[in-house]
Structures are given as C-alpha cells and as structure tokens.
Structure 1
Amino acid sequence: MRTPSSKPLSRFFLLAALLLAPLAQAGGGAQAPAAHPPGAAIASGHALATEAGLEILRQGGNAFDAAVAVSSTLSVVEPISSGLGGGGFFLLHDVSSGQDLFLDAREYAPQSATPDKFLDKNGDLDRERSVNGPWSAAIPGLPAALVELAGKHGRLPLKASLAPAIRIAGEGFPVYARMARGYQSRREVMERYPGTREVYLRNGKPIAEGDIFRQPELANTLKLLADKGFDGFYRGETARKLLAGVKQAGGSWTAQELANYRVKLRTPIAFDYRGWKITTAPPTSSGGIALAEMLQILEGYQLKGMDPVQRTHLVVEAMRRAYRDRTFFLGDPDFTQVPQRVLLSKDYALGLRSTINPDKATPSDLLSGNPTPLEDDETTHFSIIDREGNRVAATQTVNLLYGSGLIPRGTGVLLNNEMDDFALKPGTPNAFGVMGYEANAPKPGKRPLSSMTPTFMESADKVAVLGTPGGSRIITMVLLGILGYDDGLSAQQVAALPRYHHQWLPDVIEAESGTFSPETIRGLQALGHTLKLPGDEAAGGRGSSHVWGNLQTVEWDRTTNTLSGGSDPRNPVGLAKVQAE
C-alpha cells in the first residue's frame, strides 16, 4: 500500500501562512499600507490658491480639477511669479490607470525671435530687449495646460474649476509685501506700457501693501477661457488683443503662432534612490536628468549620520558634475538630441562618482565645458494629493519678476520674458550670470531650457509630492528635499530645510544665512571650497540671498494612513492644508 506524501500537507501550511501573514501583521501593530488617503492635501504659495483647490475638491472634483483651480488662482494672486501669460510643467499621477504623465506647457519662441534680433549694433547681447517688453515674450502655454487638465483628466467642467480665480480677480485680494516690493523694483519698466499702467496704477499711484487689488480685465479673460476653452485664449477676442498689444509695443507675434500652440505630453523621468521611486521632469526641463545624476552619484555614500562637512562636500561635488552636464547635452528634445539614456545610467553615475576626491574639492575649471542657461527666481509651485491617491506636482512661471512687464490692453495678461532663458548669444551670460550654447539656442517653435523640477517620491509606505521656485537653485532645493525625506523628516521640516547650492560655474557654494555652522564653513574651506554667504561680497559669484525658494510639499504616510503638508516658512502667504475625508 502506498504511503501518502507529506508534500501536499506542507504546501497547505505554507499557503495558509502566506494568506494569514497580512492579518497577523496588522493585528501585531505593523499595518498594511492603506489603499487610498484619508482625505486630500494641497500646498501652494498662496492661501487663496490652496483654498480654491479645496473648494473644487468639495464640489466633487479630483486632483486635476483642483490643479486647474490652484494654477489659475496663483495666476491671479501671484503675478510676480506666474500667470496666463507664462507657462509651466505639470507632473500627474492618475491612480485609475497607474500612469505618471508629464504636461509640458513651456512657452515657445515666435517666428520673429531669431538670435540677431537680440543683438545691439556692436553685436553684443541687448539685455534690455531680452528681458523687457514684447521681444522678451514667448508664446504662452499655461492657458492650454488648464484646458488640457480639465478636458482630459478632470471630472468637472473647466468653467467650474476656473470659477474661484474669476471671482478673486473680480473681487480683488490684499496686496502683500513681496508683491508691492517687486512692483517697485520693476516699476520703471512696467509703467512704460499703457495696459500695465491701467492695471497697476490707482489714481497715478502704484499698488501698496494692504491695497485691494482688483483685475476685472483678467477676470474677463478667464471667463472667455472658461466659456470657450482653447479658442477663448488662443483665438478670438483675447488673441486679437494680445496681438495688438504686442504690436503696439513694437514686437511681432502672429495669429497662427497663437493658434498653433500645443501642450506637449512627455514621458516623465523615473529612477530609484535607496528604496524610493523618484518620478520627475524630463526635458525641456533640465531638472529631472540633473536630479537623477546627483542622486545616483550620492547613493554610493552613506549620507545619513555623516559628518556635516563631509556630507556637504559630497553633495556639492554631485551638484557640480550634474550642472556641468546640463551645459552640453540639454535642450528642447524636439530640436536637440538629448543623450538621456546615457545620462540616466547608473554606470555613468558610477564613473562620475569615481572622479570625486573625498578629501578635496574639484575645481570646476578641471571639468571642461561652458555653463548653461538657468530658470528664474520668480516662479511658483504647488503640490496636491486627493482622496483617491491622484496627485499633481506643478511648477509655473513668467520668468523674471513680473515677466516682461507688458500687459496688452484689455487682457489683464502679464506676458512672460522667457526668451532670456534661451542662449541668445553663445557664451554670453543671461540675467543670472550664466551662459548657454547651441543646444539651447532659440529657433521658431522651440522651448527654452528650464530648471523647474516638479517631483514625486514613492516608497513602500510613503508618497510625497514636492517642488519649488528658485531659479538655478530649483534643482538643488528639490535634491535637498528628497534627502530630507530620506532622512525621515516631516513634510514641514522638509519645506523649512536650510539650503545651499553649487551650479558648477561660478565655482562657489552659495548658502542661506545660518545654513552652516562656523566649524562647517572652516571645514569646507579646508577642503578647497569657496563659499558665497549673505553679505560676503569677496567670495565672487552672483551673490547669495538671505533666503531663497518657496518649497511646497505634501506627504501621504500609507502605514498610518495620514496626510501632512509643508509650506515654506520663508513665504508668509503660502498655505499647506489637509482636508479630511
């Protein structure tokens, strides 16, 4: 008689153990990750924009509808940083499909904006033309992004999601200190143009802190966009006014250029860093590739608990190498062949890591090459997670403070000055003291290179959304935020992290006040680093602000199923808020 095998019985117990493991684990205190968040969280650079997004969520909208509301409201209340006359990047996670998507709503160069138009009679870069007025403005992309978000990803009509921005533009909001200071610094340029004067002057006096700032013309432009979608901005009444305003100021756009604008759907960059999946911006952003290079260099070191001098040294050396590569290889992928596969390779990062001396700074002039154009300081970012787990990281801009300064009459739309983000003359510094070459030279329809870096982080138990304005420092601020989350910091601690930056050239470490202790400063100097600190004019470089950036981040802890947000304490009008289920 055949004896029964013990294998079926052992298989039963193994299967039972596997099935019961999650239950036992949950009962023992270690909870299984939650399937969806307990509510929603939004962090943005202005409380009115955050509240606008929450208002749309309460109406049954999803994260993408809320993004339309937040973006358009920021366009009303943060004219120093962004607006319908600018562009942006939108990184999306759609929980129903599991897909990550990237909407490139960067502005593009008009047909008339050839490099020779930006040179003076001596062949030098005409700085006045590159940053002020109609010639500095590229074709806007943000309105098209709002239409795309609502039409292809949202649940609510565009009209519903734009309603808060329309209301705030009509009723007005209190002018805050940064907005008033920014106007004073750009007043001479802005008051050249009748359309701008009509918006920003009251009885001949400029806006002041505490004034109620109403923009009825912008409200009307938003209403046309809400009613007619794409055609409400890029064709018809608004388009005619934009074209007339640019022409009156001496520039040259065409109706066809406006009507031909399209948002580009691009594949996000994704890579792993120490158990985190990082999803971030592809070209025309330079941020994602640079971020991947830096983190893949740094994953070869145990940064946690490392001496602050040694940790800062290694982080700076990774920054130095990534920023050098931006120069040679990055530009609009529709016009420039970007060797993305090589730059994102861990083998390439290993090679870069091998060139780092742990005991000595690498002089930037030993890393051959030339510097690249960078993004502006005056930008804005917001982060959203909704109750289903959809998420948005969006960074938008008009480039420099108040963009070009030009508002075409009757529109309320402040135009960008993104043309200065191109390499208008090879080897000549732009407004940020940095240079570019052929990969980022202007061509009709081409989009200028950007540093905007909206980013997702995802581990087995956490999801985070983050990004920031900050010019060439955007990428390094996001890097430090990622390292902060990896160190176990909360969302608010990440938003408040002290900041430092190295961009290859000029060969200096910039830092906010109080970032480094005196001992750390002496240690970095002993390794051969030059530091540019606030008030230190002897160190060279383009200077270092007292503080910089405006990081906005939200986090979902799937183990505890809790949401939290972090709004940069450097910005008193920002708000991170959680809306409970």
Structure 2
Amino acid sequence: MLAVAASAQQASTAAPAAHPPGTAIASGHRLATEAGLEIIAQGGNAFDAAVAVSSTLGVVEPISSGLGGGGFFLLHQASTGRDVMIDARETAPESASPDKFLDKAGKLDPSRSINGPWSAGIPGLPAALVELAGKYGRLPLKQSLAPAIRIASEGFPVYERMAKGYALRREEMEKYPGTREVYLRNGRPIQTGDIFRQPELAHTLTLLAEHGRDGFYKGETARKLLAGVKQSGGKWTAAELASYQVKERAPIQFDYKGWKITTAPPPSSGGIALAEMLQILEGYDLKGMDPVQRTHLTVEAMRRAYRDRTFFLGDPDFTTIPQKVLVSKDYALGLRSTINPEKATPSDLLSGNPTPLEDEETTHFSIIDAEGNRVGATQTVNLLYGSGLIPKGTGVLLNDEMDDFALKPGTPNAFGVMGYEANAPKPGKRPLSSMTPTFMENADKSAVLGTPGGSRIITMVLLGILGYDDGLTAQQVAALPRYHHQWLPDLIEAESGTFDQATVRGLEAMGHKLKLPGDTAAGGRGSSHVWGNLQTVEWDRKTNTLSGGSDPRNPVGAALVRPGTP
C-alpha cells in the first residue's frame, strides 16, 4: 500500500477552488495507478485514465477482474455536471436456464455454478472500455490501452496474494489447456517473484484497441472465445456475444447531513441499501455516541437494509423494483421507528430468508482529475480467478457470475446463501451485485470511494462515508476497522481489533451475537481477520488540495497524485 497526498498550492479561504490542482488516483495495484497517471500526462482526462487503470488491473489482478468479467463505472462529468453509471455487468447466456445447474437429484450443483464454462456470463468490461473512451474520453482507445498492452507483454512480478490464490484454485484451473498455457511455467505453477507475461492477452487487448467492440465481441477473439467455451462443454452463441451492450443508468442520489451522495443503482444493490442505512442513521447524533450505542444503531440500519435487498432487488430490466419507496426519507423514518435504542432486533422478527452474496475477489479504483471529472469503478470476475477457464489463444479469464443468480430459489449455493425470483437467471439478465462505487460531495469537499468485499462491500462503503463525515482523512478512511451485519445469519461480523472487550460486552448485553476472528462457535461464514481493499480520493476545495487513501491491508495498492492544471 502506498498513499501520497498532494503538495498543492493553498487556495484563498474566501471561496472554494473551482478546479482541483491535479489528478488523484487510488487503485489496488501501483502499476494500474501509474498507468492512469501516464495517460493523464499524455493529455487524457479521468475517463481516459479509467480505461488505462481498468485494463491494467485486468492484467495485474487476474485474481479479481479482467476482460472476461464486468463492473460498474460511476462517472461525474465536470463540464455538464452530469452523473451517470455505466452498467457493464455480465449477462446470462441463453443456454443458462436454472435446470442446467442442478444434479440428477435436482439439487444445486456448485461444480457448474462456480467452475468452468457454465458458470460464465457474457463479459461486459471490454464494452465499457470502448464506451468510456469513445463517449467520455479525449484520447483514442488505442492510446489509453497502451499501458495494459505493454505490461501484459513485458510482464510484472507475481505477488503473494496472486500466487496463493492460484494455489487454491489450481485443481480447477489446470483442467483447461488455455489456462495451463498461461499459468504454468514448464509445468510449474506461478510463484511469488516470477515475471508473469501474458502475450495472448496482449494480443486480445491490441485487437480491442484497433477494432473497438468488434475486436472482442466479433472476429478473431469472439471465434476463440466461442470455441473455448464449446470445447470445455459449455454453450455460447455468436449472436449473444455480438449483441452485448453496456447500459447507462441514472445513479441513486440522496442527502446525508449536508453531503450529496451519488451511488450505484440496480442491478447493484449497494445504492438502495446505502440510502436506507444512511437515511435511518441521519436521525441520530452518531458523533456524540459511545462506541456501543453507535455500533448498535449502525447494525440495526444494516439489518433492515439487507432484509430489503433480499426480496426487492434484481436486474431492473427484468424485475419491478419499488426504488422510489425504498430510497425515500419517509420509508427510512418508518424503519427507524422500529429500532429499539437499547436492544437488538432479532432478525427472525423481520421475516424472510438469507440474502444473496457476492464473493470478495473484486477490485475498485477512484479518480479525480484537474477538471473536476470523477470516476468510481468497481469491477470483478466474481470468485477467486473467476471460472478458472481461459479459452485457448485469448488470455481472457472468464468470470463465474452465474453463481450470483438465484439458480434454485430458496436453496443455498456453494457458499450457503439463497436468492429468489427477483434474481433468477433469464437470457440477457444481469445478476444482482453488491458493487457500490460512490461519490460524496458537500460545500467544501468531493470524495470518491469503493471497495471489493462481497456482501460486505456495502457496509464498508457505509463506514467509509461515516468516516469522512467524522472528518477523517482519505488514508484514515481507507484504514478504518470494519464490521458488518447482513440480516441473516443474525450476527455482527468484525475484523481483528475492531471492538475492544468493553464494546463486545456492551453489544452482547443488548442482545447482539458477534462473530469475531477465531470464533468458530457461532454460525455463518466465519469472520476473516481483514476485509476489503478500499480505494478513495478526496479534493478539499477550501485548501485546494488532493489526497488519496489506499487500503493498508493490500501491500501492492497505491494512491498517487499528479499536480497539474486543466
């Protein structure tokens, strides 16, 4: 992790600065952050930089994202004041009906939902890169993709998380000839410190750079993708690959104690959940509370939002979502009235079943440029190394996003979670996600933040927003300790060191059950020692300074600032 604050000139205290003094970028890998700044130096804007950062993350973080996956890109265009989200979520192939994921006994077969060709949705990330460059950027796509192409060709050192992740997924990944060609060196799997070169991925990126959409969704790359899926036992069609389109969606916007919050709409569940939680919490003076009371009320807000996530949310093109009600202050007021300030609400009193999850292998980056453009992007291949399948000759690791659908309503998937009709798969439908890229803005400051972390993404972003509201710096926000409640299982999970013993005892006295690292007595997934990989940037208009925060949990991430004027 590296975070570098801006050393910018001081602005007059009489009026906030009109433009940031340069560009700030925070991402999960230093090479990706540097790629974005390289494009800025060549005359690009935040959207060109986003193409460079996104594509480079796909090269250096294959464990988390890439051309074979998808994501959400939240954009603010300074010249027009427009906010928009590019939805590049993967879509279900026509062949992926729920029965394809059941075994002979009619039970959910996790070997199909998380591994290999049947687990993969039609990728959306390449289309998003084309959209960003063509509609919002200043530079040719070829120029913005150049850093990723160079790094894929020349290679980069394998880091510990990448090598350990491969070791965990090795058995599945080495079933496929295309994957073996990329990840084995003379029969030996990649190891920390190896130089990892991906010439086939460099070629695929070059075709995308030269031919735009058709360089991926048609032609040579498409033929290789279709052949690789078919040879591995799956079924995609040329028509559904060629017809993939990103969608521009209006973000969710609401106010929280003087902050304008702009965040992701469905098929992300994050924006609606954030609106519910923050508008519940705005009725309390959190800053004046002791840790027990503050945590209790925050958990109760989490509990209610995650309950609604389960029943109401899915792809808005296929599911009717009562969004206007769910994000209203009146609805939040009603939810707040059900909270006992002195006692936990048992989740079984809020009727329903467990919420769908998304795994933790995702990545996020945040950008503010010298014109005031902003990008918050969260992208993923879903689980660790996605499906494990690289169609031969492409270098493209396919996602396993089909596991994010409710493949058998009311039946736990491989991670013990359930979903319902609102998130059932249909051809062309996008699975529900927790990815929550978010903007915060008040009279003095603008910030961009987001994180990976599965179903915990939303609560980590919530805690980050509350941290900024408390007056923390960007780096302090990135380092905040984290806790989470998702309605069912009825547990507060937390990282190591989040709560002291007095807080634990106080929460337990209120009726809360806690799942802490090392605790195997309670139910649920278990609580790991550290979560997420939050990346955030902030512009302080009063001092006209930029700063970035890169999660200290991730040693290869970087938040960097490049001075400069628009």
TM category (shorter chain) comes to: over 0.9
Contact 1:384 1:554 in 2 (8 A): yes
Contact 2:204 2:216 in 1 (8 A): yes
Contact 2:73 2:85 in 1 (8 A): yes
Is structure 2 residue 319 aligned with structure 1 residue 356? Answer: no
Report the equivalent of 2:133: 150
Report the equivalent of 2:480: 497
Report the equivalent of 1:256: 239
The 3-state SS of whatever aligns with 2:422 is helix
* Amino acid paired to 2:313: L
Report the equivalent of 1:189: 172
Report the equivalent of 2:68: 85
Contact 1:31 1:560 in 2 (8 A): no
Point out where structure 1 has 5 or more consecutive residues left out of the alignment. Answer: 1-26
Shift of 1:430: 2.6
Aligned partner (choices 119, 125, 146) of residue 163 of structure 1: 146
Is structure 2 residue 271 aligned with structure 1 residue 288? Answer: yes
Report the equivalent of 1:109: 92
Shift of 1:28: 13
* Separation of aligned partners in 2, 1:39 and 1:541: 45
* Separation of aligned partners in 1, 2:531 and 2:187: 32
Shift of 1:369: 1.3
Q: State the Cα RMSD in Å.
A: 1.0
The 3-state SS of whatever aligns with 2:330 is helix
| Cα deviation code 1:405-435 (max 9, x no counterpart) | 0000000000000000000001112343221
Report the equivalent of 1:402: 385
Report the equivalent of 2:361: 378
* Separation of aligned partners in 1, 2:382 and 2:288: 38
| Cα deviation code 1:41-73 (max 9, x no counterpart) | 000000000000000000000000000000000
Is structure 2 residue 164 aligned with structure 1 residue 176? Answer: no
Report the equivalent of 1:506: 489
Contact 2:11 2:543 in 1 (8 A): no
The 3-state SS of whatever aligns with 1:304 is helix
Distance 1:68 1:560, change over 3 A: same
Report the equivalent of 1:6: none
The 3-state SS of whatever aligns with 1:221 is helix
* Separation of aligned partners in 2, 1:560 and 1:434: 47
* Separation of aligned partners in 2, 1:571 and 1:195: 29
The 3-state SS of whatever aligns with 1:401 is coil
The 3-state SS of whatever aligns with 1:576 is strand
Contact 1:421 1:430 in 2 (8 A): no
Report the equivalent of 2:304: 321
* Separation of aligned partners in 1, 2:478 and 2:232: 41
* Separation of aligned partners in 1, 2:261 and 2:415: 28
**Which segment drifts farther, 374-383 or 486-495?**
374-383
Identity of aligned residues (%): 85
* Separation of aligned partners in 1, 2:374 and 2:447: 9
Report the equivalent of 2:511: 528
Is structure 2 residue 260 aligned with structure 1 residue 277? Answer: yes
Is structure 2 residue 108 aligned with structure 1 residue 125? Answer: yes
| Cα deviation code 1:449-470 (max 9, x no counterpart) | 0000000000000000000000
* Amino acid paired to 2:216: F
Report the equivalent of 2:520: 537
TM-score, with length taken from structure 2: 0.97
* Separation of aligned partners in 1, 2:31 and 2:41: 15
Point out where structure 2 has 5 or more consecutive residues left out of the alignment. Answer: 1-9
The 3-state SS of whatever aligns with 2:390 is coil
Contact 1:91 1:280 in 2 (8 A): yes
**Which segment drifts farther, 559-568 or 426-435?**
426-435
The 3-state SS of whatever aligns with 1:102 is strand
* Separation of aligned partners in 2, 1:575 and 1:367: 41
Contact 2:11 2:17 in 1 (8 A): no
Shift of 1:375: 1.8
Shift of 1:371: 2.3
* Separation of aligned partners in 2, 1:557 and 1:412: 41
Is structure 2 residue 401 aligned with structure 1 residue 418? Answer: yes
Shift of 1:29: 7.3
| Cα deviation code 1:456-500 (max 9, x no counterpart) | 000000000000000000000000000000000000000000000
| Cα deviation code 1:83-136 (max 9, x no counterpart) | 000000000000011100100000000000000000001110001100000000
Report the equivalent of 2:376: 393
Shift of 1:157: 0.1
* Separation of aligned partners in 2, 1:546 and 1:133: 30
Contact 1:37 1:558 in 2 (8 A): yes
Report the equivalent of 1:18: none
* Separation of aligned partners in 2, 1:281 and 1:234: 26
Aligned partner (choices 43, 62, 65) of residue 45 of structure 2: 62
Bigger radius of gyration, 1 or 2? 1
Q: Which has the higher contact order (CA 8 A, sep 6+)?
A: 2
Is structure 2 residue 21 aligned with structure 1 residue 38? Answer: yes
Distance 1:493 1:253, change over 3 A: same
Report the equivalent of 1:226: 209
TM-score, with length taken from structure 1: 0.95
* Amino acid paired to 2:531: W
Contact 1:373 1:430 in 2 (8 A): no
| Cα deviation code 1:142-188 (max 9, x no counterpart) | 00000000000000000000000000000000000000000000000
| Cα deviation code 1:252-302 (max 9, x no counterpart) | 000001000000010000000000000000000000000000000000000
Report the equivalent of 1:458: 441
Aligned partner (choices 516, 530, 551) of residue 499 of structure 2: 516
Is structure 2 residue 317 aligned with structure 1 residue 341? Answer: no
* Amino acid paired to 2:558: L
Report the equivalent of 1:10: none
Shift of 1:566: 0.0
* Separation of aligned partners in 2, 1:434 and 1:458: 35
* Separation of aligned partners in 1, 2:320 and 2:206: 40
* Amino acid paired to 1:135: W
- The count of residues paired between Structure 1 and Structure 2 equals 555
Aligned partner (choices 292, 315, 322) of residue 309 of structure 1: 292
* Amino acid paired to 1:401: L
Is structure 2 residue 554 aligned with structure 1 residue 556? Answer: no
The 3-state SS of whatever aligns with 2:332 is helix
Shift of 1:374: 2.0
